[in-house]
Amino acid sequence: MSIDLTCPQCGKQIRAPENAGGKHGKCPYCATSVYIPLPPAVDEEEEIGLAPFDEEEERREEELRRESARYAALLDKAAEGQNVGAGEPPSRTRPTQKPGEVIDLGDEVEKFVLAMHESNLEEAEAAVRRLTKAGKRAREYVEGLTLDEMPPEYGSVPPPLAKGFLKALLNRLGK
């Protein structure tokens, strides 16, 4: 069996052997490089099995992402010498930072994104100043969030908008 195709350059009909499918060849009439498509399947096309959307599974995956972010924040705190209990998740109530304390990157990034979403530029600027104190560590943290396919959820901020805010924050933090 052979593969019939048309040269995109000269428009002439070309016939290629079946084993040439998926490769390139030269048109015998005009010498243009032509992609030879794969031959059509002889059997009925095999259907790909699809699974229904499982909201519960999506919720569990989102919770795992959040838990990973919490533990990453714990590791950051531990690396900075703060006393952190084993397996203890970061507190949901976040106290105000005192001078000299380690900055909770996740908290500050969240404050920035929510402030930007609410057009509260003063609070966003304050979050940038606090993150700037963390230096390279803050930049790497925000870089990781921008590279993530699904950024963490920040209240009612749509993920694409949150990702845009994160990129803006990354620019503000400099190199």
82-138 pLDDT, tens digit per residue, is: 655 544 444 443 434 445 556 788 888 899 999 998 988 999 999 998 888 888 888
User: What is the pTM assigned to this prediction?
Assistant: 0.44
Kindly give the pairing relationship between strand 13-17 and strand 24-26. Answer: unpaired
| Per-residue DSSP letter, 157 | B
35-88 residue pLDDT tens: 988 876 655 566 666 777 788 888 888 888 887 777 777 777 766 666 555 444
30-37: list long-range contacts, CB under 8 Å, 24+ apart: 32/7, 32/8, 34/5, 34/7, 34/8, 34/9, 36/3, 36/5, 37/3, 37/5
Cα(139)–Cα(102) distance, integer angstroms = 15
Cα(105)–Cα(114) distance, integer angstroms = 14
